[in-house]
Structure 1
């Protein structure tokens, strides 16, 4: 059915004035026909070669190819069809002078022993001068080593490798055009391979890393002078115990502007210089060093998990540029550090608190002076997971009573009995608000009236 649809999409017949049927689309220039085929899945685009001699080689000029094993369905009573055979044959026939994008996702439907074929495909993509390469293997028992030619490709701009791949990097590495790298759950031969790989990417601007427990690395070092954005995720699997595992994340990237860190490994996190960060997401149960925390002083947008490891920043850092902030609170008495944070964030306009579950006690003591952000800047305030405990009530009352420029406050109440909810709403409605323009909104937890 899909094949027929592809054929009819690629060929149009019209009647001439004399009543004869004419195939006008086949007379279009090659580049326009290639543009039409780009709207089709790769397999359907290739199937147009049976239309006529005119169409036989058009698909071979496609600048984008996608081979996704999950697209091949299980037929009743038959073994799952694999994309392997189609990929192997069609890739060898491809003739485009430049391959803008190649996507290969191989799953368990492929033959077991295809290491040589995989290496051949990657090497051939280098010959085609690929710009963007996405390669995922999800079924091999032993990760494969990518060909050395990949590490000296002068046209590669965007690289994503995922799952059963071993980063075993020769020396030297030369990837002069590579700007974007995504490393999803791969395995590393050793720490030197990672360092050699990144050191050969002189134009690298964006690095995404998602690690797993068995990736063979203890220390993960990112030393990239040109790096602008780093996203790093290491969620330790199979355990509820978080403690220092003796490993580390080390960052040496002085031009870094955006940093998104999720690390629950218990390792240390070190920054060897002080980049000027504009945007940061810090969700960690690890141990950041002083430079790491100080690098947050320049952020404009901040998302932070307030834990025993990060609470020190509330006291020690002056967030002089901070405008928007989301605070996730864990199970400890966080209200006093939170007030210190407000004192140190004079430009803050948008504040969201997301309070996680827990019945731990909270205590609140008003500061000696009103935080400057409340007096001059705060416009939006939201509290998710509000429970109506004494400490929470006192903080909300304090913010509403002192935020002169507040336009909207949203209290998102944790699900509870209707009676308790009405009681909390009544209490908060009675709180005096210094800003005549402020609107107070209430909702259950699953409704969010606005977003940061």
Structure 2
């Protein structure tokens, strides 16, 4: 009996799993680690050759020759199984023709997700331009594409990306017209992410592009640079766009056309000096106007005081990040112009923009906003410290929120004790009704239930 139990304990349960489950488990590993499983046992000898995901990265193997030979061998000895995902990240391979051959092999194996990042710097310390092979454009199976390289595009006149649904593009040093050509070659694209870092602009760089995608539903644009540039703008023409995320530093010109289907929008304009740019207010006003039909809005910007806030007739949930510059006026304007607002989240951040006033006294609106009287059910205030103006704002919402059900305060650095805050806020009840306040305080949160 003891011998039988010992055999049960020592039994290799993982090797006993079906091949399909083993393929799935191994697909989360780098290909070098997958190949090493051939030494485990006879059962594992040929498993690696059918794993649907290939992941090659020379970060831990900078030897160009051995890295390239390894990829050649894996692709040569692999069986005829289709490749689901193919990822190649390299900073050492300078033979781009060889790279195109690897990508072509993945395309011939009906790859569905392609993620090439090929960077090589020449003797002049300038990045070499990688040209996407034609087989990428004409693939019938490619559904997800990630592009991280400094690339150029010579797309066919027709028949491009017939099934491409998701596209991620990282911009470092954009090649002239490549962005325009790429975005005009995706007829069924549904998800698009454009990301750029600090190195994307030169001293006089210009980045202009148009995204014209009839089926696009989700668009995310993250552009960050601390360099000054002559001009940067992009135009979005996507009639089915539902989700839009824009994060920029500094601010650029963004034009959206025919986006009446928008539901969720996140805008994060991190330019600390936007208030010194008169055009910022013009572009900010235009951007807010075109998204005024959204239902869910997350808004973070330092200097929107000069912008004309439109009416948000459908807005149900607002997440508003307020900095130590002009911020109460923006809150009051959004409350006044959002008659159907039900859920309000306010995040308070300590940051003073250049030229902004340090006087943040809360002054109530001339009239109580309609949403506060008839719609707002919950209010959440993050970064709450119990400052005088913060307390005045909270008391105003408590006094005038006729159907308010809950107000939650998230804080780490209270300036006053919870007893003092409870006593002062509990006095905000209307005489005409009985209001029950349940007060709890943790390190992060203090909550009131009305």
Tell whether the 8 Å contact from 2:169 to 2:194 is kept in structure 1 after alignment: yes
Equivalent position to 2:105, from 124, 136, 160: 124
Tell whether the 8 Å contact from 2:183 to 2:213 is kept in structure 1 after alignment: yes
- Offset, 1:169: 3.5
- Offset, 1:340: 2.2
Name the counterpart of 1:19.
none
Question: Do structure 1's residue 333 and structure 2's residue 326 form an aligned pair?
Answer: yes
- Offset, 1:67: 2.2
Name the counterpart of 2:73.
89
Tell whether the 8 Å contact from 1:69 to 1:82 is kept in structure 2 after alignment: no
Equivalent position to 1:176, from 162, 168, 179: 162
Question: Do structure 1's residue 322 and structure 2's residue 315 form an aligned pair?
Answer: yes
Question: Do structure 1's residue 151 and structure 2's residue 141 form an aligned pair?
Answer: no
Q: Deviations over 1:185-204 (max 9, x none)?
A: 343221x3222212211110
Q: Deviations over 1:80-125 (max 9, x none)?
A: 9975442232023223352111122235xxx453433222211221
Equivalent position to 2:189, from 197, 204, 229: 204
Q: Distance in 2 between the 1:318 and 1:380 partners? A: 21
Name the counterpart of 1:298.
293
Tell whether the 8 Å contact from 2:374 to 2:403 is kept in structure 1 after alignment: yes
Q: Distance in 1 between the 2:424 and 2:14 partners? A: 71
Identify if the C-alpha distance between structure 1 residues 47 and 37 changes in structure 2 by more than 3 Å, giving closer, same or farther. farther
Instruction: Show the 5 A alignment for 1:269-418.
Output: 269-284=254-269, 285=271, 287=280, 288=283, 292-309=287-304, 312-314=307-309, 317-358=310-351, 360-413=358-411, 415=413
Tell whether the 8 Å contact from 2:113 to 2:143 is kept in structure 1 after alignment: yes
Q: What residue ranges of structure 2 are gaps of 5+ in the alignment?
A: 5-10, 275-279, 353-357
Tell whether the 8 Å contact from 1:411 to 1:441 is kept in structure 2 after alignment: no
Equivalent position to 2:250, from 261, 265, 268: 265
Tell whether the 8 Å contact from 2:144 to 2:164 is kept in structure 1 after alignment: yes
- Offset, 1:374: 1.5
- Offset, 1:435: 7.5
Q: What residue ranges of structure 1 are gaps of 5+ in the alignment?
A: 1-13, 16-21
- Offset, 1:324: 1.5
- Offset, 1:339: 1.5
What TM-score comes out, normalization by structure 2 length? 0.78
SS of the residue 2:398 aligns to: helix
SS of the residue 2:231 aligns to: coil
Identify if the C-alpha distance between structure 1 residues 94 and 425 changes in structure 2 by more than 3 Å, giving closer, same or farther. same
Identify if the C-alpha distance between structure 1 residues 149 and 422 changes in structure 2 by more than 3 Å, giving closer, same or farther. same
